[in-house]
Amino acid sequence: MKVYRVYESFHEPDHTESGTYEYGTMSSLEMAKARLAVVWAAKKYPEPLEKNKSDSGWSACWGYDWVTIHIEEITVDEPIDETNIGYT
Residue 21 resides in a domain:
yes
Domain that holds residue 16: 2-75
Q: What is the mean pLDDT of residues 60-88?
A: 87
- Helix, strand, coil abundance in the chain, percent, nearest 5: 20, 40, 40
Residue 70 resides in a domain:
yes
Residue 82 resides in a domain:
no
Tell whether pTM > 0.85. Answer: no
Number of folded domains that form the chain = 1
Residue 84 resides in a domain:
no
pLDDT digits (tens, 9 = 90+) for 22-64: 999 999 999 999 999 999 999 999 988 766 677 899 999 877 8
Q: Which residue has the higher pLDDT, 17 or 69?
A: 69
Predicted pLDDT at 52: 63
Residue 81 resides in a domain:
no
Residue 69 resides in a domain:
yes
Residue 83 resides in a domain:
no
